[in-house]
A and B are shown apart, each in its own frame.
Chain A
Amino acid sequence: DGGITQSPKYLFRKEGQNVTLSCEQNLNHDAMYWYRQDPGQGLRLIYYSQIVNDFQKGDIAEGYSVSREKKESFPLTVTSAQKNPTAFYLCASSISAYSTDTQYFGPGTRLTVL
């Protein structure tokens, strides 16, 4: 079955630690995205990648980093510079960044800072 997987489902981080969230897709999509969702709010774009080995900052990139070494994978690192990282993180992909196709979302990772 084609889809987007994210791991882990739940993640606990101590202050000062970097953590990496995994996102993998087997839909053969070119574009991938990372969003953050805070309780009772909509999604905000952290980073996006339109093609392998290229990515751009979204609206709230500070304290986060990404890589796109393979088409299927777009991991997100939450660094210690992110002051308030507790949130629900959603990865998405679409056929291409220039298409009118919808974005498909993974199941999400809930990050909590202890």
Chain B
Amino acid sequence: ELKVEQNPLFLSMQEGKNYTIYCNYSTTSDRLYWYRQDPGKSLESLFVLLSNGAVKQEGRLMASLDTKARLSTLHITAAVHDLSATYFCAVDRSYNTDKLIFGTGTRLQVFP
């Protein structure tokens, strides 16, 4: 059974600092997604990672995928308050379907 674990579950960081969120998954998958969720809101797609070694960047966020290690990272550079949200990774559980398994999420709080 595919399991997806994120750590940390909660992250409080100061503006301007860097940090990394980790997403580990238990079985082979070539597709990994990162989403952002603001409190009480829906999910917003951030990144789609489709192959080993894939790296994508948008603003202060950079995501990477290592399929051999079954690990994805979401790196935050010089955090700002607007990045405060919950971040989810999700892994496609099967090669030919779009059925996702979500991690439990990392709640990020950025303070001045």
> Which residues of B in the span 56-108 have a Cβ within 8 Å of any Cβ on A?
88, 90, 96-100, 102-105
In this assembly, does B48 line the interface, its C-beta being within 8 Å of a C-beta of chain A?
yes
Whether A42 and B102, one on each chain, are in contact in the complex, defined by CB atoms closer than 8 angstroms, is yes
CB contacts (< 8 Å) of A48 on chain B: these are 98-99
In this assembly, does B13 line the interface, its C-beta being within 8 Å of a C-beta of chain A?
no
CA of A101 to CA of B102 in the docked complex: distance in angstroms? 16
Total B residues in contact with A, Cβ cutoff 8 Å: 22
Q: How far apart are B106's CB and chain A's nearest CB, in angstroms?
A: 10
Whether B100 and A98, one on each chain, are in contact in the complex, defined by CB atoms closer than 8 angstroms, is no
Whether A104 and B45, one on each chain, are in contact in the complex, defined by CB atoms closer than 8 angstroms, is yes
In this assembly, does A45 line the interface, its C-beta being within 8 Å of a C-beta of chain B?
yes
CA of A43 to CA of B88 in the docked complex: distance in angstroms? 9
Total A residues in contact with B, Cβ cutoff 8 Å: 27
Complex partner residue of B98 from A41, A94, A105, CB under 8 angstroms: A94
Q: How far apart are A54's CB and chain B's nearest CB, in angstroms?
A: 13
Q: How far apart are A111's CB and chain B's nearest CB, in angstroms?
A: 14
> Which residues of A in the span 86-114 have a Cβ within 8 Å of any Cβ on B?
90, 92, 94, 96-108
In this assembly, does A63 line the interface, its C-beta being within 8 Å of a C-beta of chain B?
no
CB contacts (< 8 Å) of A104 on chain B: these are 45
Q: A42-B102, A90-B42, A108-B42 are in contact. Are A100 and B48 (CB under 8 A)?
A: yes
Whether A98 and B33, one on each chain, are in contact in the complex, defined by CB atoms closer than 8 angstroms, is no
> Which residues of A in the span 16-54 have a Cβ within 8 Å of any Cβ on B?
31, 33, 40-45, 48, 50
Complex partner residue of B41 from A42, A58, A92, A108, CB under 8 angstroms: A108
Q: How far apart are A33's CB and chain B's nearest CB, in angstroms?
A: 8
- B residues lining the A interface (CB < 8 Å): 4, 31, 33, 35, 41-45, 48, 50, 88, 90, 96-100, 102-105
